[in-house]
Amino acid sequence: MKTVISSWLLFRLLFQPTAVFEELSETRPEPHSVFLKFVVWLAIIPPVFAYIGASNFGWRLGAAEPLFMPSGDLILVSIIYFFALLFAFVSTAVVAQWMATTYGARHSLGIHFALVTIIAAPLVVGSAIHLFPHVFLNIVVLIPALMWSMYLLYRGLPIVLKISPERGMLMASALIGYLLVAAVSFLGLTVALWGQGIGPSIGI
């Protein structure tokens, strides 16, 4: 069984998702190699795009004036964004591994890292829209990316983890539950940080 996955696999995902999942189901990647080779680099892309976009154009929230942040704050927010994404990658993989026992799925942490990386890939590609920091535009572009990610989750999970499609459906839905909670926690944490003076200047 192969223990490494190639970068080529991620590109093929766009055209032949099922073949990629089947290939992945026959590999047994090491968690640290997936982490260092893919996760760190994928997690760095959205904050870099966001930094470039926000420092050049300022965030547009619909009202007339774009919101600019001091560069120190912007760097801090981008770094927090990077670590939040790393946490999201790792925690989702660990939660998926924890759920695997219940659904009788493959248990190796490496394969869960690889699966989460693949599922997140469309969102990372979609994050290029951060270069144009307009909130509504970002939402409109990231929604199809999210739908593509969800399709990959429901389609790929049972193949990669070698369980029946029905069990895959249950496990994918349980993971959606975790991801929804993680997403809303991220939002809550963000606005709580604004209240603490990190981020845009608001009158609290």
Partner 1 sequence: MVSGTVEGERYFDRVVTALVMFSVIWAVLGMTVGVYIAAELIWPTLDFGLPWLSFGRLRPLHTNAVIFGFGVSALMGTAFYSVQRTSHVPLYAPRLAWFCCYAWQFTLLLGGLSLLAGWNTSKEYAELEWPFDIAITVIWVCFAIVFFGTIARRRIKPIYVSNWFYGGMIIVIAMIHIVNSLAIPVTISKSYSLFAGAQDAIVQWWYGHNAVGFLLTGGFLGMMYYFLPKQADRPIWSYRLSIVAFWAFTYSYIWAGPHHLHYSSIPDWVQSLAVAMSLILLAPSWATMINGIMTVSGASQKLRTDPALKFIVLSLAFYGLATFEGPMLAIKSVNVISHYTDWTIGHVHSGALGWNALITFGTFYFLVPRLVGTVLYSVRLANIHFWMALAGTMLYILAMWGAGVSQGLLWLSLDEIGELSFSFKDIMASMPPYYALRFVAGLVFLLGAVLMTYNLYMTIRGRRTIHVRPPAVTSHQV
Q: What angle do CA 32, 37, 41 make, to 5 degrees?
A: 115
Residue 176: CB minimum distance to partner 1, A = 5
- Which residue among 52, 67, 86, 94 contacts partner 1 (CB under 8 A)? 67
* Interactions with partner 1, residue window 120-159 (CB under 8 A): 135-136, 139-140, 143, 146-147
Contact pattern for partner 1 over residues 12 through 51, marking x by CB under 8 A: ----------------------------------------
CB-neighbour burial class of residue 147 (10 A; exposed 0-12, middle 13-18, buried 19+): exposed
Residue 100: CB minimum distance to partner 1, A = 12
Contact pattern for partner 1 over residues 45 through 64, marking x by CB under 8 A: ----------------xxxx
CB-neighbour burial class of residue 28 (10 A; exposed 0-12, middle 13-18, buried 19+): middle
What is the Cα–Cα distance from 35 to 42, expressed in whole angstroms?
Answer: 10
In this structure, the chain runs to a length of 204
According to the binding rule CB under 8 A, does residue 185 interact with partner 1? yes
The pair of three-digit structure tokens given for residue 100, joined into one six-digit string: 């695997």
What is the Cα–Cα distance from 82 to 180, expressed in whole angstroms?
Answer: 19
Candidates 182, 176, 149; CA nearest to 13 is: 149
- Which residue among 21, 103, 113, 148 contacts partner 1 (CB under 8 A)? 103
According to the binding rule CB under 8 A, does residue 201 interact with partner 1? yes
φ, ψ at 60 (rounded to 5°): -100, 120
Identity of the residue, 11 or 87, whose beta carbon is nearer to partner 1 in the bound complex: 87
Neighbours of 158 (CB within 10 A): 22
Residue 46: CB minimum distance to partner 1, A = 16
Per-residue CA distances from 42 to 7, 63, 118 (Å):
12, 32, 10
- Which residue among 41, 70, 164, 197 contacts partner 1 (CB under 8 A)? 164
Q: Which residues bind partner 1 (CB under 8 A)?
A: 61-65, 67, 102-103, 135-136, 139-140, 143, 146-147, 164, 166-167, 169-170, 173-174, 176-177, 180-181, 184-185, 187-188, 190-192, 194-196, 200-204
